Structure 1
Amino acid sequence: MLQTAMRYSHTLLKEVIQAGDTVVDATMGNGNDTAFLAQLVGLNGSVYAFDVQEQALQNTEKKLVESGVREQVRLVHQGHETIATIIPKETTLRAAIFNLGYLPKSDKQIITKPDTTKQALGALLARLESKGRIVLVVYYGHTGGEAELAMVQNYCQQLPQEEYSVLTYQFINQKNNPPILFCIEKK
């Protein structure tokens, strides 16, 4: 059976993340990806998790405590455009994930935006290790979503193939704008 974009994002990350790595959840949301990453990096690794909404931090904190992985996570109550200032320049990253759109079961007016996502991607690529991956799951069925999808697609297409491989994964026969996954791997 084919995996959903969310499940496939975890498969792609699990293939490269090892205990002790440093990784980023650029959009912590309800904490599912943050907890998943924290389990993969273990106690000696670290996860930087970003979100602008207080509700996201509370939901994520609760999930991390329940999962027993709170210790290795740094929750950052700021947008992912601040990655360059929060994560030290000398820190190398094994992986990062974005779920672009809005926080499920919350204010649908608060959405990720093309300009801040582009800033975050630049900061992550500058710190990404060889064989590291950045996964973006783009939910675009809301106002502003199409513009962000276009930016991500264009950004990924412009990456030099000598340095990066980029994969897209999507279901093309489903209704209601199924999410599209992008995976950038540094060579």
Structure 2
Amino acid sequence: MLNRVLDQSKQFAYDILHPHSIAVDATCGNGNDTSFLLDHISKGKVYAFDIQSEAIESTKEKIAHHKNLEQLTLIHDSHENVLQYVDKHIDVAMFNLGFLPKANKTITTLSHSTITAIEAILSQLSVGGRIIITIYHGHENGKDEKRAVLSYAEKLDQHFFNVLMYRFINQINDAPFILVIERRRSSP
């Protein structure tokens, strides 16, 4: 059976994670991806970002008793500032675009900061590394962000990046989908 979108986003990350990975959860939200990354990174580092205090607190609660807490840096800042905090090659980055579930739906990710973050992460993405972006586009900002992110990703040089879209084409109501950007080789 085909994986649901959230399960598949984790599978795309799991396939390349190793204990020493450097990972970014660009939108830590309720802490699910942060917890998942910590489950698989025992000697590397996980950097988890969110602009909302509520998301940072929710993530802290989710991972409070995690065995790999020393591998985590929680950052109350926009993902567009990722390079101010991460100065290493990045193996995996995960984004969930949209708004924090069960929170203020007027606070959403925005195309400008998201593309700035993607560009920054691409500049440090390891060969074979992946950016996994789950796009929720059932709201106005989400529609704009979807268009902008797809437009950006479609222009990435195929000699250096593979870009994959994973989506169910027969689902209604603007079902979320995944975009995966994988570095094939180093840029010149």
TM-score range, shorter chain: over 0.9
TM-score by length of 1: 0.96
Matches for 1:117-136 after TM superposition, within 5 Å = 117-136=114-133
Find the counterpart in structure 1 of residue 8 from structure 2.
8
Task: Give deviations 1:122-143, integer Å, cap 9, x for gaps.
Answer: 1100000000000000001012
Find the counterpart in structure 1 of residue 157 from structure 2.
160
Find the counterpart in structure 1 of residue 59 from structure 2.
60
Q: Distance in 1 between matches of 2:61 and 2:16?
A: 27
| DSSP 3-state at the match of 1:60 | helix
| Offset of residue 21 of structure 1 | 1.1
Q: Distance in 1 between matches of 2:29 and 2:72?
A: 14
The one-letter code of the counterpart of 1:50 is F
Find the counterpart in structure 2 of residue 112 from structure 1.
109
Q: Distance in 1 between matches of 2:67 and 2:61?
A: 10
| Offset of residue 175 of structure 1 | 1.6
Find the counterpart in structure 1 of residue 17 from structure 2.
17
Unaligned runs of 5+ in 2: none
| DSSP 3-state at the match of 1:66 | coil
CA contact (8 A) 1:61 1:70 kept: no
CA contact (8 A) 1:132 1:186 kept: yes
| DSSP 3-state at the match of 1:34 | helix
Task: Give deviations 1:32-55, integer Å, cap 9, x for gaps.
Answer: 00010111111x111000000111
| DSSP 3-state at the match of 1:160 | coil
TM-score by length of 2: 0.95
Task: Give deviations 1:117-173, integer Å, cap 9, x for gaps.
Answer: 010001100000000000000001012111100011111100000000010011111
The one-letter code of the counterpart of 1:73 is L
RMSD: 0.9
Bigger Cα displacement from structure 2, 26-35 vs 167-176: 167-176
Find the counterpart in structure 1 of residue 168 from structure 2.
171
| Offset of residue 24 of structure 1 | 0.2
Q: Distance in 2 between matches of 1:104 and 1:68?
A: 26
Unaligned runs of 5+ in 1: none
Q: Distance in 1 between matches of 2:128 and 2:85?
A: 23
CA contact (8 A) 2:41 2:68 kept: no
In the alignment, does 2:178 pair up with 1:181? Answer: yes
